[in-house]
Structure 1
Amino acid sequence: MIRITELRLPIDHAPEALEQAILKRLDLHVKDLISFEVFKRSYDARKNVALSFIYTVDLSVKNEDALLKKFAGDIHIRPSPDTSYHFVAKAPESIDSGKVLRPVVIGFGPCGIFAALVLAQMGFKPIVLERGKKVRERTQDTWGLWRKNKLNPESNVQFGEGGAGTFSDGKLYSQIKDPKFYGRKVIHEFVKAGAPEEITYVAKPHIGTFRLVGVVEKMRQEIIELGGEIRFTQKVIGFDIQNEQITGVKIEGQPDLPASHVILALGHSARDTFEALYHAGVYMEAKPFSVGFRIEHPQSLIDKARLGPHAGNELIGAADYKLVHHAKNGRSVYSFCMCPGGTVVAATSEPNRVVTNGMSQYSRNERNANAGIVVGITPDDYPGGPLAGIEFQRAIESKAFELGGGTYEAPGQLIGDFLEGKPSTEFGSVLPSYKPGVHLTDLADSLPAYAIEAIREAIPAFEKQIKGFSMKDAVLTGVETRTSSPLRITRGTNYQSLNIKGLYPAGEGAGYAGGILSAGVDGIKVAEAVALDYLSK
Structure 2
Amino acid sequence: MIRLTDIKLPLEHPEGAIEAAVRAKLGLGKDAVRQVTVFRRGYDARKRGAIQLIYTLDVEVADEAGVLKRHADDKHVQPTPDTGYHFVAKAPENLAQRPIVIGMGPCGLFAGLLLAQMGYRPIILDRGKAVRERTVDTWGLWRKRKLEPESNVQFGEGGAGTFSDGKLHSQISDPHHHGRKVLNEFVLAGAPEEILYVSKPHIGTFRLVTMVENMRATIDSLGGEIRFSQRVDDFLVDTETDGKRQIRGVVLASGEQLLSDHVVLAVGHSARDTFFQLHERGVYMEAKPFSIGFRVEHPQSIIDQARFGPQAGHPILGAADYKLVHHCKNGRSVYSFCMCPGGTVVAAASEPERVVTNGMSQYSRNERNANAAIVVGIDPKDFAAFDDSGSPLAGIALQRALESRAYELGGRDYSAPGQLVGDFLSGKPSSEFGSVQPSYKPGVRLTDLAPALPDYAIEAIREALPAFDRQIKGFAMRDAVLTGVETRTSSPVRIRRGEDYQSLNTQGLYPAGEGAGYAGGILSAAVDGIRVAEAVARQINATH
TM-score, normalised via structure 1 length? 0.97
Aligned to 2:54: 54
Structure 1 residue 45, shift from structure 2 partner: 2.5
Distance 2:33 2:189 in 1: 30
Distance 1:334 1:29 in 2: 49
Could you tell which deviates more after superposition, 305-314 or 237-246? 305-314
1:195-274 matches, within 5 Å, as 195-243=191-239, 244-274=245-275
Describe the SS at the equivalent of 2:296. Answer: strand
Deviation per CA, 1:121-140: give whole Å up to 9, x if none: 11111110011111111111
Partner Cα separation in structure 2 for residue 287 and residue 48 of structure 1: 40
Partner amino acid, structure 2, of 1:442: D
- Between 71-80 and 394-403, the greater mean CA deviation after superposition: 71-80
Q: Which runs of 4+ in 1 moved over 4 A?
A: none
2:48 and 2:308 in contact (8 A); partners too: no
CA-CA distance at 1:427 after TM superposition: 0.3
Query: More deviation in 238-247 or 475-484?
Result: 238-247
Q: Distance in 2 between matches of 1:489 and 1:532?
A: 21
Q: Secondary structure at the match of 1:493?
A: coil
Does 2:531 align with 1:525? yes
Q: Which runs of 5 or more residues in structure 2 are unaligned?
A: 240-244, 385-389
Write out aligned runs for 1:120-131 (5 A): 120-131=116-127
**Native 8 Å contact 1:47 1:309 kept in 2:** no
How is 1:371-390 mapped onto 2 (pairs within 5 angstroms)? 371-383=372-384, 384-390=390-396
Return the alpha-carbon distance in structure 2 between the equivalents of residues 164 and 522 of structure 1: 16
Amino acid in the other structure paired with 2:261: S
Of 269-278 and 45-54, the range deviating more from structure 2 = 45-54
What are the Cα deviations for residues 354-382 of structure 1, in whole angstroms up to 9, with x where unaligned?
00000111111111110000001110011
Q: What's 2:387 paired with?
A: none
Give per-residue Cα distances to partners, 1:245-275, cap 9 Å, x unaligned. Answer: 1111000114100111000000000011111
CA distance in 2, matches of 1:514, 1:406: 30
Matched, 1:288 2:289: yes
Partner of 2:299: 298
Q: CA deviation at 1:26?
A: 2.1
1:190 to 2:186 alignment: yes
Counterpart residue identity of residue 250, structure 1: V
User: Are 1:361 and 2:370 an aligned pair?
Assistant: no
Question: In structure 2, what is the equivalent of residue 423 of structure 1?
Answer: 429
Residue 511 in 1 paired to residue 514 in 2? no
Matches within 5 A, 1:332-411: 332-383=333-384, 384-411=390-417
Aligned partner of 2:383: which letter?
A: Y
The aligned counterpart of 2:327 is: 326
Superposed CA offset, 1:456-497 (max 9, x none): 111111111111111110000000000000001111111000
The structure 1 residue matched to 2:456, chosen from 450, 468, 490, is: 450
Residue 188 of structure 1 and its aligned partner are, at CA, apart by: 1.1
Q: 1:152 aligns with which of 148, 151, 166?
A: 148
- Distance in 1, matches of 2:541 and 2:15, equals 49
Matches of 1:360 and 1:293, distance apart in 2: 17
* Cα deviation digits, residues 393-441 of structure 1 (max 9, x gap): 0000000000000000000000111011111000000000000000000
Q: Is contact 1:120–1:223 with CA below 8 Å preserved after alignment? A: yes
Contact 1:45-1:310 within 8 A present in 2 as well: no
Match of 1:75 in 2: 75
Structure 2 partner of 1:105: 101
Q: What is the aligned partner in structure 1 of residue 12 from structure 2?
A: 12
- Equivalence for 2:94: 94
Q: 1:49 to 1:303 in 2, by over 3 A?
A: closer
Q: Which amino acid aligns with 1:201?
A: Y
Alignment of 1:307-326 (within 5 A): 307-326=308-327
| TM-score, normalised relative to structure 2 | 0.96
Asked if the contact 1:47/1:310 (under 8 Å) is kept, the reply is no
Sequence identity of aligned pairs in percent? 69
322-331 vs 307-316, greater mean Cα deviation: 307-316
Q: How far off is 1:25 after superposition? A: 2.7
Name the count of aligned residue pairs.
533
**What is the match of residue 63 of structure 2?**
63
Q: Is the 8 A contact 2:48 2:309 kept in 1?
A: no
CA distance in 1, matches of 2:63, 2:422: 65
In the alignment, the residues of structure 2 paired with residue 161 and residue 422 of structure 1 have an alpha-carbon distance, to the nearest angstrom, of 42
Cα displacement (A) at 1:38: 1.2
Q: Is the 1:237–1:273 Cα contact (8 Å) retained in structure 2?
A: yes
SS of structure 1 residue aligned to 2:136: helix
- Report the CA distance between 1:75 and its aligned residue: 2.6
Equivalent residues of 2:48, 2:310 under 8 A apart: no
For 2:104 and 2:425, the matched residues in 1 are separated by 41
- The unaligned stretches of length 5 or more in structure 1 are none
Separation in structure 2 between the aligned mates of residue 232 and residue 16 of structure 1, nearest angstrom: 51
More moved, 296-305 vs 23-32:
23-32
1:387 Cα deviation after fit: 1.1
Quote the Cα distance in structure 2 between the aligned partners of 1:193 and 1:33: 33
CA contact (8 A) 2:135 2:152 kept: yes
- Indicate the larger mover: 471-480 or 377-386: 377-386
Task: For 2:473 and 2:306, locate their aligned partners in 1 and report how far apart those are by CA, in whole Å.
Answer: 6
